[in-house]
Every structure is written in structure tokens, then in C-alpha cells.
Amino acid sequence: MAYIGKTPVVGNFQICDAISVVNGQAAYTLQVGGANVIPESANHMIVSLNGVIQKPGSSFTVSGSTITFASNLATGDSIDFVQILGNVLDIGAPSDATVTTAKLGDSAVTTAKIASSAVDLTSKVTGALPVANGGTNLTSGFANGITMADNWRLTVDFTGNAHPISSNLERNDTAPALSYLGSQMTQSSGVFTFPSTGIYYVTYNASFKLNGDDRVFTAIIQATTDNSTYANASEASSHIKRTNNNETYQHIYTDALFDITDTSNQKVKFRINAGSSVETMANTTRDLTAMRFIRLGDT
């Protein structure tokens, strides 16, 4: 809430510096650590004089940082202590490590409260940035969200089977497409290794062209848990019907979620089952057959 005048001091318990009594003087300056302090009111103070707690408002008053006793003090009097309570109706700032999950209200933590600084992705994009981005920075406004993504594709067409696709693979390098964000996948002979443990979303899309009569084709994501034996984790199949002896095209898509807890043994590769007349299509400047990896969060 807004206040007219001085904002209340909340829950800040302070012991004032020692005050030396001056003979015949009633008013004294309140300080903590050598700096003047202003109590909320006389009722927010505990004052001990000569071993007796004083009644606020009658035994003493306060104005700004000055405490004034009801009568002049004399040599031999002792101001034992002055404690400032702050606004005792409020809890003030919690002490470190005291706010637990149970103390937070439902829906109390919003995206705006956990968002961090924008992440500059410019270095992750190969080539010139589009005019829409001003040719400067391509940024992500929520750095605490997805922190890893990697974008791969096939660059050279082939016909028939590939168990797995083991060559002519590249990371996307055509602006303004994202090449990668954060840590990168590594690839050797078509076997992809994850950069860290976590939950990963893996997608696989493949484009095909038919020149003959072998119509059926399948795109398969295979995974291993022992870095040796692979099993099909996700697959999609379709077929092409040739029309009037013309080339015919088809596209299929499959995806899978992986819980990667061991990057040394849990890996993936991508397979094509196709007839001898089915051509898996590729390109070096656009995605025709492509694989994408997105880390969604911790395992």
C-alpha cells in the first residue's frame, strides 16, 4: 500500500547506540551504528532509564530521531538501553532460509517472478540474420526455459535402406534457422550422443520420392540403453502410389520422448527402411530429412 508521509519501518528490531547523560538535558539523538534512526513512534520503543522501563508518551516522547524525556536528566542518571521495534504489526523481511515451500500460496510463483535475463542466440545462427531481427541480436526472453536444442539434417539423397543413416549429416547452417542452443549433440557414424542427462524430445521427419514400383517406406528412431543393442523406439510408415510413370513424393514424421540418465550408454540413431526404387530426399539449404533434439528439463 502507499503511505502519505514516512513509510513505516517493519519488524526491524534495533538497539540504539549508548547514550551519555548530560546534566540538565532531556533531549537526546537516537543512533544505530553512528547513523540517526527514526522510530515509528514512542509506542514502538522500549526505553530503560536507571533500570526502570519508561512509559511511552508520558515518561518520554519521540520526534524524528530525537527522544525527549519528561524531565531533565541529571549526572548519575543512566539510559540503560533504547530498543526500536519497528512496525510490530508486520513481519518485516524474513530471515535467510526461512521461507519454505509450504509458506508459498497456491499460484504465488508466476513466470514473471522466475524469468531471467534474455539469452543472446546470435552466435548460434550461421549466416546473416533476417531484417525482422534488425540484423543484430536474436534473443530468447526466458533463459530459464528450454536451454538446449539441436537441429540436424541429411544433405545427400540415397536410395533404399539405411541402417542407420550414418553419413552426410550436418547441423543446420541456414539462417535464420536455429543451428543449436546450449550444449550440442555429438554424432559418430549416425549414432547420436546426448550432452547431458535429462528429458529429451526427439523428432524425425523424412521426405521420399518414388521412381519405380517399390512403394513402402519406414522412418525409425532407434535407441540403446547399453551402447550396443538398439531397439525401435518410434516409427512411421507409408507408401507411394506411382501415377502415370511420374515421380511421386511423400513425407512422414515420428517422434519420441527419452529419459536420459546415462549419456555413455543411452543413445539414438535414425533408420530408413525402403525399397530399391524409393529415394530418401535431402538438401544442404533446407530440411527435407531432419532430426531435432530438445532438452525439456531434468530427469
What's the confidence (pLDDT) of residue 16?
95
Looking at residue 129, its pLDDT comes to 43
pLDDT at 248: 83
Whether the CB-CB separation of 186 and 268 falls below 8 Å is answered with no
State residue 113 phi and psi, 5-degree precision: -80, -20
Nearest to 268 by CA among 254, 282, 288: 254
Q: Nine-digit cell at 134?
A: 534488425
What does 129-178 look like in DSSP terms, one character per residue?
A: PPGGGTTS--EES-TTS--EEEEEEE-S-EES-BSS--SSEEE--STTS-
The per-residue pLDDT for 130 is: 42
Alpha-carbon gap, residue 15 to 31, rounded angstroms:
9
Give the pLDDT confidence score for residue 87 in this predicted structure: 66
User: Considering only the top CATH level, what class is 146-297?
Assistant: mainly beta
What are the residue ranges spanned by the domains of the chain? 14-84, 146-297
Nearest to 152 by CA among 122, 191, 117: 191
pLDDT tens over the chain, length 299 residues: 566 666 655 667 899 999 999 999 999 999 999 999 999 899 999 999 999 999 999 999 999 999 999 999 999 999 999 999 876 666 666 778 888 888 888 877 776 666 555 555 555 555 544 433 333 444 444 445 788 999 999 999 999 999 999 999 999 999 999 999 999 999 999 999 999 999 999 999 999 888 666 577 899 999 999 999 999 999 999 887 766 667 788 899 999 999 999 999 999 999 999 888 889 999 999 999 999 999 999 98
